[in-house]
Amino acid sequence: MRLFHALFDHFFTTEECQNAVTFGRPGNNPSGKGGKQVLDRKKVDGILTYVLRCATLPDWEPIEEAKLKKAFVNKCRARAGSKE
């Protein structure tokens, strides 16, 4: 999980998190005034893939994809609420 947090902090700014949701389909997101975008899908997928792959290496703790996705949502919400 430390790897996930470090990568998330590196690739996503507070401003990106304030104006976006982590997962979603463009057709289902609120649009117009006050609507939020979806975080850069390539970055999200890259972090997910990398962390899940590293978790399969010897001496690394395994992690479930659902738990990692939940961490994405929570981290984005927490970062959006911070005043960095």
* Helix (H) or strand (E) segment spanning residue 20: strand 20-21
pLDDT band with cut points at 50, 70 and 90 for residue 84: low
| Cα gap 25→67, rounded to integer Å | 20
pLDDT band with cut points at 50, 70 and 90 for residue 5: very high
| Cα gap 43→8, rounded to integer Å | 9
Question: What pLDDT, on a 0 to 100 scale, did the predictor assign at position 23?
Answer: 81
CA 76 to chain centre: 6
Tens digits of per-residue pLDDT, 9-58? 999 988 888 888 888 755 555 554 456 788 899 999 999 999 999 999 99
Question: What pLDDT, on a 0 to 100 scale, did the predictor assign at position 26?
Answer: 53
